[in-house]
Amino acid sequence: MRAKTSAVTNRGRAAVAGTFLQYGLPAALALVFVLLAGGLQRSFLNYGTELLILALIAMAWNLIGGFGGQFSLGHSVFVGIGGYTVAVLFDETGLPFPVVLLAAGVLSALAGVILGYPMLRLRGPYFAIGTLGIALAVTSWMLNWSFTKASQAYSLPARDMLRLPQQFQLAVVLAAAVLIIVTAIVKSPLGLRLVALRDDERGAASLGVRRVRTLLPVWAVSGFITGLTGALVAFQQGSLTPAFAFNPSWVLDAIVICVVGGSGTLYGPLVGAVLVFVLRQWTTDFSDWATLIEAVVVLLVVRLVPGGVWGVCESAVAAIRRRVRRGPPDRVASNRVEEEVMANV
């Protein structure tokens, strides 16, 4: 009885520790960086903001592309919608900052629902091509829409600009919040249905999991996160053009980061964002070869570690845990002998 009680207690402690690591640790780290932002160097703040923008877009794409298995090429639309929402609302209205930021995410999510309802009925390459077509169509429309100054730069009012420490603080808060939200979704019944659709859609459908009903809310959340990232991009840049805000390179960066870090994992986008950012900083001295070097790195990752860097780390940790539970080889052998002796008695 005491052994059972001890086992239950240990499991409870492990569950509490796991919950803290998944939810409490990101919030605590975010609080530390927010408080220290005022004393950090400008170069660190600038690089940190750029890095977190990459991580945010990758986490948003990973939610639908990694866990959902839907290879979207249209997430640049959400970046542009979020960025232009901030620019237009600050220029045309006197709304406060929190309302404008929330509006950027909500409008992106709403666009995700409107565009996703027909698109999510497509599968495989048809879905990828359909989302890319929508992204290109929206970009062409924005280049000719006079309300957003067409192809000219749309600048944010100087009074509404965020200083560099504030941009970094916003990026840190968004990154921590998004990581917690993604973790909660993946651990929820919706996340289980999402992964089931990715792994075996027919089997999931036979159990009552509906494709559009499962993917649409996840698509909306992904659009919401990307829209908030677009708002952060607008604050960082100070002005936007359709060619920049709706550039397909946003979604390509997200895909590369997820492939390198580990698609379909919680922390793969963060690891991949760090690795890709460091690689790009290193290749700035080789401007003519930077793209080729990055392509070679991606090919090597796909060939050697298809699960990504974080996938390798998870496999190594799992192997260590199994080894610890089994104990030393001598102990494992003695346990097997004892089991055989008891079976023959």
Measure the N-to-C terminal CA separation of the chain; round to a whole number of Å: 26
* 117 occurs within a structural domain: yes
pLDDT of residue 5: 54
Is 264 contained in some domain?
A: no
Check pLDDT > 60 for residue 32: yes
Confidence band, pLDDT 50/70/90 cuts, at residue 343: very low
Closest CA to 54 of 307, 296, 236, 284: 236
Tell me if 280 is assigned to some domain: no
Averaged pLDDT, 3-8: 51
Q: Which of 255, 264, 254, 276 is nearest to 314 (CA)?
A: 264
Predicted pLDDT of residue 321 = 80
Q: For residue 82, tell me if it sits in a domain.
A: yes
- 238: closest CA among 145, 140, 162, 338? 162
181, 173 contact by CB (below 8 A)? no
What stretch of H or E contains 155? strand 154-155
Angle between helices 249-261 and 42-61 (to 10 degrees): 90
Domain that holds residue 53: 23-247
Higher-scoring residue by pLDDT: 23, 172: 172
Structure tokens, 45 = 């703040």
Question: Which pLDDT does position 318 carry in this prediction?
Answer: 80
Is 294 part of any domain?
Answer: no
Q: At what angle do helices 164-187 and 25-36 cross, to 10 degrees?
A: 180
Predicted local confidence at residue 337, as pLDDT:
43
Per-residue pLDDT at 68: 93
Query: pLDDT tens digits for 200-259?
Result: 989 999 988 999 999 999 999 999 999 999 999 999 999 999 999 999 999 999 999 999
- The per-residue pLDDT for 314 is 82
Classify residue 88: in a domain, yes or no: yes
| H helix or E strand, kind and range, residue 312 | helix 308-326
- The predicted pLDDT at position 332 comes to 46
pTM above 0.85, yes or no: yes
Band of residue 41 on the pLDDT scale cut at 50, 70, 90: very high
How far is the C-alpha of 188 from the C-alpha of 299, rounded, in Å? 33
More confident residue, 220 or 340: 220
pLDDT tens-digit map of 298-314 = 899 888 888 889 988 88
Does any domain span residue 313? Answer: no
Q: Which one-letter amino acid corresponds to residue 199?
A: D
Average pLDDT over residues 145-152: 84
- Count: domains in the chain: 1
312 assigned to some structural domain: no
Question: 275-304: per-residue pLDDT in tens?
Answer: 999 999 988 877 778 888 888 988 998 888
